[in-house]
Structure 1
Amino acid sequence: MSKFGVIVTGPAGAGKTTFCTALIQHLRTVRRSCYYVNLDPAADDFAYEPDIDIKDLISLEDVMEELSLGPNGGLIYCFEHLLENMDFLTDPLDPVTDEYLIIFDMPGQIELYTHVPILPALVKQLMHGSLNIRMCATYLLEATFVVDRPKFFAGTLSAMSAMMMLEMPHLNILTKMDLIKGKVPRRELKRFLDPDVGLLDDDPDRALPEEAKAAGLDPTETTNVMSGASYHKLNKAVGRLIDDFSMVSFLQLDAQDEESVGAVLSYIDESIQYHEAQEPKEPVEEPLDDMEGY
């Protein structure tokens, strides 16, 4: 019997735990079972108590204090310890049935998804080990990034890197859409949902070299580096790389909007083929009381 899950990734501040909370609330509203797993060893504030919490095994605070490690090194140590003690996850997840959606809430250090093979190793054990979980990954990026186009393409590159590292069904999501309402025209927003490298040429905040010279800006000054021609060429190279792979597109999410959360859930279900595995339920016949009416 297969199990079904979604792993929620993305940089710090992208709204991962908020998304998990909204997803759990929506699942409860539609009377669907879910199982919440917190894998952030530094998180301590939850709207819904996790069914499994990595801090019951190891916490980042203890690791940093006892081993004199920094946050990133401590986080890597926590996950290495988890991989050595996978029964912490497999034992409680083993009896979970295919009616549940297992939600894995991950930490915000993107090194785990883009630079080191720890998370891919964890995903491999969850998907291809004894649990046999059909999973997809979601990579969350804050919608306010679209206001700063180079920043948006840097975030998009991180999303693409995570997609290639994890090698699993993958959804990219722009979160906090309510924060940019009225700030970005709808037609322009569509260009961000399917990233268009031409956005960098159309950036109204970018000063062209001629304009910079006319304004008397010294390109060697630190404050002017971010508007220089070399910086623009770097961003264009990043944009072309993303365009060449043609892998990244985004869904929109407003965690306060029930329909928005439901729409994202439908994409998750499609990615993991949740509904195809559900057996049709037999209709329940109501008993007739003393054959009343006959």
Structure 2
Amino acid sequence: MQTKCAKARRRVTLLFALVLGVLLALLLGGCQGAQEKQNSSETGGYEVKDVQGQVLKLPRKPQRIVTLALSSDEMALAMLPAQRLAALHYLADDPGISTEAAKAQAVTARVRDYNVEQLLSLQPDLVLAPDWNRQELIQTLRDAGLPVVVTKGPSSVAEVKEALQQIALAAGEPQAGQKLIEQMELEMADIAAKVQNIPQAQKKTVVLISHMASYGGKGSLFDNMCRDAGVINGAAAVGLGKNDALTKEAIVAANPDVILVPTWTKGKLDVDQVRQELLNDPALQSVKAIREKKLVQVSDAYLYCAAQDITKGIRGIAAAAYPERFE
């Protein structure tokens, strides 16, 4: 009897030891996993999937970022310290066309043609390339060993938000990107509240005189901004595509209520000359905006903005068409 009891006690002891060992192993494994997670967080290693489906592994938050567009520079400057950017577009510090000109002055290097040799010389630890960049350039940079993340090249508010999110994730600063998106949403909600109840028959028609000869038609950034501003894009209304040139005949056919004229003095157009030529052109005297001298300036830095300040461009267009609603 005693032998049986002793054997039973030993089995219980062994079972208890086995259970205790399993519990300790689980506990130690959990601690080790937590430690590994902490170590990963401390080093900042993470992965980013871009719009082309490419996954890039970054060992830490990049400190020498180069973007391949002025709009991407504007996004990066708005959410990151200037010291984390290795170079900017050559127009980034021109307040006439850049919305982040003041902050851009803290970055000394400039890029104009985006050639491979210059980009390699900058030794970036992250290249942000909008998907409107040439694919051969993107592939060449990748083949050269540069870490490239392809982001959305925006042509609408929704796509600006998408690009902001992608750039913020690539830079390791998702909260900074989300903050900009939330600010945009507040601004867009305010604009919508002012223009959303305008009947279609009462919407104003707007035409943009652009520094780019072929720009502003259906599907362009400006076209989408007009939609959000509650106005009719005259160029799109008469059948022009986003890469079609605006002619005098198209302006007459559109018969806009408002013509937006340039503000940027370093572009292809002479600002004062454009205004005088429009007002004095015999072929345009039947156009409502010419008769009523509704030639309005909205900062080109905002009208051509494919970054977070696109909202200011949309507000400017809406205010030009419906000034009474924005007083």
TM-score (norm 2): 0.27
Greater RCO, 1 or 2 (C-alpha within 8 Å, sep 6+): 1
